[in-house]
Amino acid sequence: MEKSMFIRKRFCKSLFILFAAAFVLCTNSFAKESASAKKASLSKEKPRFFWKISGVDKNGNPSFVYIQGTIHLGSEKLFPLDKEVLDAFNSADLLAGEISSEDMDKIQLYSMRLVQESFIKAGGKKVSENLNEKEVESLKNLLGGPLAFSMIDGAEPWVLSLALLGKTIQETTELTAEYSIDSYFRNLANESSRKVIGLDDLKSQFDILTFGTYEQQIKILKASIKECSEENYIQETKAELDSLYKAYISDDLEMLASISQKSNEKEVSEYGDFGEEYKKLVYDKRNEDWAKDITEFLENGGSTFIYAGAAHWVGKNSVFEYLRKQGTIE
């Protein structure tokens, strides 16, 4: 009987130790899971359009993502950048832009190939065959004459829309891509032989420019011709770009969000039944994908520095809104 009691006590003691060990293991595991599952915090920092996300990685260690919103045209007024921004860039373990440094080296050849392919894809069709006489004459004038127009008349309509956009930018603003913050960070990375990964790949960037069927591209081109032919177009476009630049310089998040939203609504209205699809491609889908990338950056740990268009970080369906929906940030 005493022997039986002794065995029972030994068994109970062993069982208690086993349960205690299991409890400690579970507690440690839960603590680690809780650390990685804890939502990161987002803070707007003092420099213009600059944010910091503070979180923990999958091992429970501190993890940071710094975000510099940019505009793709600029002037000397944008510089010098704040020391806090430059320190974050210089100390980052990972650099990310809209396009990787590798893809930036390919962009010129890639765009030339797409333009060449567009003549083949057009299948002998002429853009002018789908425009009325007034639209053709307007387009010739806007592009700099009959010769310039005839050289690209046999391409897909997106090529003419892109040429029209380039001409418009030249005539309405003194801002240049040379002085953009994107260019500044690319050059800074090149000088120190640092690699920049891309939030987008080259194809997804050009999918925006080449969006739509031939018929949809004609509709987009017609809308652009109509807009560019309006009497006060140059003044209105210049005023819009000036407002955008002013909002950026003064770190006015609400103003920039408002300008961006109005521009999106205008495109959706002009493009009709496929306008919403275009907006989703340009902003919503990319913002959602970028939010997933940022979640991964936080989980992998260390410090990441991102520079990308300011409009993606403000307003409805911003990257931050998707991060909240995904449960990554508070």
In this predicted structure, what is the pLDDT of residue 34? 43
Q: Is residue 5 one of the residues assigned to a domain?
A: no
Question: 189-198, 219-228, 230-239, 305-314: which range is least confident on average?
Answer: 230-239
- 8-state DSSP, 323: H
Reported as a single tens digit per residue, the pLDDT across 164-177 is: 998 888 888 889 99
In whole angstroms, give the CA distance from residue 298 to residue 57: 6
pLDDT band with cut points at 50, 70 and 90 for residue 242: very high
Reported as a single tens digit per residue, the pLDDT across 90-110 is: 999 999 999 999 999 999 999
Reported as a single tens digit per residue, the pLDDT across 277-296 is: 998 999 999 999 999 999 99
Mean pLDDT over 233-248 rounds to 92
Helix (H, G, I), strand (E, B) or coil at 97: strand
Question: What are the angstrom distances between the C-alpha of 152 and each of 69, 127, 169?
Answer: 35, 9, 19
pLDDT band with cut points at 50, 70 and 90 for residue 264: confident
Q: Is residue 226 one of the residues assigned to a domain?
A: yes
Question: What are the angstrom distances between the C-alpha of 290 and each of 41, 143, 276, 296, 319?
Answer: 17, 36, 20, 10, 7
In this predicted structure, what is the pLDDT of residue 167? 87
Q: Are 186 and 196 in contact (CB under 8 A)?
A: yes
Reported as a single tens digit per residue, the pLDDT across 28-52 is: 443 444 444 689 999 999 999 999 9
Reported as a single tens digit per residue, the pLDDT across 123-143 is: 999 999 999 999 999 999 999
For the chain, the average pLDDT equals 89
In this predicted structure, what is the pLDDT of residue 234? 86
Mean pLDDT over 50-59 rounds to 98
In this predicted structure, what is the pLDDT of residue 37? 60
Q: Is residue 52 one of the residues assigned to a domain?
A: yes
Q: Is residue 107 one of the residues assigned to a domain?
A: yes
Mean pLDDT over 21-32 rounds to 39
In whole angstroms, give the CA distance from residue 287 to residue 326: 12
Q: Is residue 310 one of the residues assigned to a domain?
A: yes
The whole-model pTM stands at 0.86
pLDDT band with cut points at 50, 70 and 90 for residue 24: very low
Q: How many CA atoms lie within 13 A of 30 on its CB side?
A: 6
Structural domain range at position 193: 40-325
Name the burial class of residue 264, with classes exposed (0-12), middle (13-18) and buried (19+) by CB atoms within 10 angstroms of its CB: buried
Reported as a single tens digit per residue, the pLDDT across 265-281 is: 888 888 888 888 998 99
Domain count, the chain: 1
Among 303, 286, 328, 299, which residue's Cα sits nearest to residue 52? 303
Name the burial class of residue 81, with classes exposed (0-12), middle (13-18) and buried (19+) by CB atoms within 10 angstroms of its CB: middle
Q: Is residue 127 one of the residues assigned to a domain?
A: yes
Q: Which percentage of the chain shows pLDDT scores above 70?
A: 89
Mean pLDDT over 61-77 rounds to 96
Q: Is residue 34 one of the residues assigned to a domain?
A: no
Q: Is residue 7 one of the residues assigned to a domain?
A: no
